[in-house]
Amino acid sequence: MIPDTLSAGQYNTVYNFLSLVIASQLFAALFMLIALPRILPRYRQAITIAIIVCGIAAYHYFRIFDSFKAAFVTDSVGGTGTYTQAVGEGFNEGYRYVDWFLTVPLLLVELIAVLALARSVSRRLMMQLVPAAALMIALGYPGEISGDNGIRAIFGLLSTIPFLFILYVLFVQLGKSLERQPVSVRKTLSRLRFLLLLSWGVYPIAYLLPLLNIAGSDAWVFKQVGYSVADILAKAVYGLIIFYVARRKSFEDDAAFAAIEESKDEAPALR
């Protein structure tokens, strides 16, 4: 539930963080779109998905931003006083779930696609990860919209099952495939899984706040900021790291491409 009132400082904090997310997602997407020819065609499908993920997030943050602006009003001059809930308007948290429902499966597709594994291995991993990710989000939603803590706990628990399965696939099954990746990107790819784990960790913490009886405007502001930072890390920063991996792999796959794309000092033999 959203708080009845926010101080001007709280209101501005949420407002500015929401705008930061829009800028991050939109321009991460734009950067990758412009830089798409800077990687080999075989990695462009992965980066196209990264662009789409950031685009979907930008769309939803535009909506969240507008919903937030409409949900609170102040009658002070210059907006320096207290903000109270507006009549006839709610703050729609549903946008976040719609966003995650579309983007979380795609984030995993993005990771598998950049590995450029054999088709059969790639397909098997996606058939495991994509339904699990969609199920994880879909099971969280009934708990999120319920005012009842028991229902919240049950759906939170159900949602944890596909989450643990995803971790198993990423950290156990994927391990073998990572060993076959070029040395220059192996560590980055391995750490990328921890970035996912770290940023995704924010969501269950926010989900648990009502169960822990943590409420009030400070907790709500903290939750909005936490979601914002997590969405920047898990989508924009994550996408840019995937782009970096795709670029490094492009250079290792094709020395002629590297000679054109890299600085002269890097490819002396071909100059």
Footprint (CB under 8 A) of a second copy, residues 142-201: 145
To the nearest whole angstrom, how small is the minimum distance from the Cβ of residue 25 to a second copy? 11
Binding test (CB under 8 A) with a second copy, winner from 6, 25, 68, 95: 95
To the nearest whole angstrom, how small is the minimum distance from the Cβ of residue 86 to a second copy? 7
Q: How far apart are CA 6 and CA 139, in angstroms?
A: 31
208 contacts a second copy (rule: CB under 8 A):
no
Q: Which stretch binds a second copy (CB under 8 A): 2-10, 129-137, 166-174, 194-202?
A: 2-10
Q: Which of 82/173 has CB closer to a second copy?
A: 82
Q: Which positions from 209 through 228 interact with a second copy, judged by CB under 8 A?
A: none
Tokens of 233: 């890390």
Q: How far apart are CA 249 and CA 115, in angstroms?
A: 9
Site string for a second copy, 7-46 (x = CB under 8 A): -xx--x--xx--xx-xxx-xx--xx-xxxxxx-xxx-xx-
To the nearest whole angstrom, how small is the minimum distance from the Cβ of residue 218 to a second copy? 17
To the nearest whole angstrom, how small is the minimum distance from the Cβ of residue 137 to a second copy? 12
Q: For residue 225, what are the contacts with CB-CB under 8 A and spacing of at least 6?
A: 13, 14, 17
| CB 266 within 8 Å of CB 55 | no
Q: Which of 165/252 has CB closer to a second copy?
A: 252
Binding test (CB under 8 A) with a second copy, winner from 2, 151, 158, 214: 2
**What single-letter DSSP state applies at residue 85?**
E
Q: Which positions from 252 through 271 interact with a second copy, judged by CB under 8 A?
A: 253, 260-266
To the nearest whole angstrom, how small is the minimum distance from the Cβ of residue 89 to a second copy? 5
Nearest Cα neighbor of 233 from 242, 222, 223 is 242
97 contacts a second copy (rule: CB under 8 A):
yes
Q: Which positions from 75 through 94 interact with a second copy, judged by CB under 8 A?
A: 75-80, 85-92, 94
To the nearest whole angstrom, how small is the minimum distance from the Cβ of residue 164 to a second copy? 26
DSSP, collapsed to helix, strand or coil, labels residue 40 as coil
138 contacts a second copy (rule: CB under 8 A):
no
* Owner of token pair 């109270």: 84
Helices 8-34 and 216-231 sit at what angle, rounded to 10 degrees? 10
- 140-143 contacts, C-beta under 8 A, 24 or more apart: 140/97, 140/203, 140/207, 141/97, 143/207
To the nearest whole angstrom, how small is the minimum distance from the Cβ of residue 205 to a second copy? 23
Q: Which of 118/127 has CB closer to a second copy?
A: 118
**What single-letter DSSP state applies at residue 181?**
S
Kindly tell me the burial class for residue 7, based on how many C-beta atoms sit within 10 Å of its own C-beta (0-12, 13-18, 19 or more).
middle
